[in-house]
Amino acid sequence: PRIRLICLDTNKGFAAGNNEGITRAAGRYILLLNSDAYLTEGVLKSTTRFMDEHPDIGILGCKLTNPDGTMQPSARMLPGLLNKIFVMTGLSARYPASRIFGRVDFSWWDHSHPREVGWVVGAYFLIRRKTLEEIGLLDERYFLYFEEIDYCRTAREKLWNVVFYPHAQVIHLGGQSAAHSGSQVSSQGTQLVSQRIRSEFRYYRKWHGILRVVLSAVIEISWNGLVFLKNMPDRSPNARHKRQDTLITIKLILSALVRDRFGKGQPYGPVQQASASHR
């Protein structure tokens, strides 16, 4: 197939960068494929055929695996405060077989058949052309994180189905989890944590209003405060790192609230979504 390389002068972020390609792409479907994702045989054929057979599907994701064949989280619920608590406290990881605690990533389910989900991971993100024409481009206010969640939610609001399809496999090198509740916030990772917090607040502000932003911040600050207090008596290097991590995270949360105007961010540009009523 013919390949066109688009070179940008600056890093515009995941959403804006993909939009540059989307606006130039042709065909019945648009595929967003991460640079660290590798297709196995027949993936494109099987996923496009399945969407051809199910015209109500607007966005489709497939099974993502690590290089060793173990499965990565590929089908997920939309974000919410209860899900945030389950993940942050480690309950989701501790009880993956539970329909309650494992609901965030559908870890209780065997992923053996196609299923309508809240959102699919952007490593392999197949969009129907008609869906794109109806709901528009990715929201460029998200520099990194939450852009595919936002897009799936917009599609669902317009009554398009978002579906996980397990009969196609993509090897994803960058999806191995390293951000559990007890992990250290390195100097290199601080910017990524900051981006996650800012995007999360923008998502909640857009879809739920300012109260959800405040509640999300209170929950995360409270949890980090508890972790700090729990590790206060312990003078080991590991406990010291945990105390440092909590203080860094709390500082990033407070900074995001002030600098990003409680998730309001910058004014909407040409990628404004009609369904975003909370500002």
Sorting pLDDT into bands at 50, 70 and 90, what band is 1?
low
Show the domain range for 133. Answer: 13-74+111-175
Sorting pLDDT into bands at 50, 70 and 90, what band is 191?
confident
Residue at which a domain ends, from 159, 175, 191: 175
- What pTM value is reported for the model? 0.89
Residue 207, helix vs strand vs coil: helix
207-232 residue pLDDT tens: 999 999 999 999 999 999 999 999 99
How far is Cα 267 from Cα 264, in angstroms, rounded to an integer?
A: 8
Same domain? For 268 and 144 the reply is no
| Domain annotation covers residue 1 | no
46-72 residue pLDDT tens: 999 999 999 999 999 999 999 999 999
Same domain? For 121 and 143 the reply is yes
- 272: which 2 tokens? 């404004």
| Domain annotation covers residue 81 | no
Same domain? For 145 and 166 the reply is yes
> What's the chain's average pLDDT?
90
Q: Give the domain CATH number at 122.
A: 3.90.550.10
- 47: which 2 tokens? 């996923």
Same domain? For 211 and 145 the reply is no
Count: domains in the chain? 2
Q: Which of 113-146 are b and which e, b meaning 16 or more Cβ less than 10 Å from the residue's Cβ?
A: ebeebbbbbbbbbbbbeebbeebbbbbbbbbbbb
